[in-house]
Structure 1
Amino acid sequence: MYGHYHSLLKVTDILFQLIEWILKNVKVVDN
């Protein structure tokens, strides 16, 4: 159970990094 939860946190962390990267690129392209 704990292992599954840990992997879920890892995926969420990766998703947040991906969103942050996309937002940065959108800002660069927008400007």
Structure 2
Amino acid sequence: MKQKKTVRAVALGLAVLLGLGALVGALLPLIY
């Protein structure tokens, strides 16, 4: 059960990182 929670947390972290990366990638051309 503890391992499943960890996997979920890691997946969530990856999803957040991907979302932030996509956001930055979309905003950079607008800023520069």
Number of equivalent positions:
29
Cα RMSD over matched residues? 0.4
Matches within 5 A, 1:1-31: 3-31=1-29
Runs (4+) off by over 4 Å: none
**Identity, % of aligned pairs?**
3
Q: Which runs of 5+ in 1 are unaligned?
A: none
Deviation digits for residues 1-31 of structure 1 (CA, Å, limit 9, x no counterpart): xx00000000000000000000000000001
Amino acid across the alignment from 1:23: G
Counterpart-to-counterpart distance in 1, 2:25 and 2:12: 20
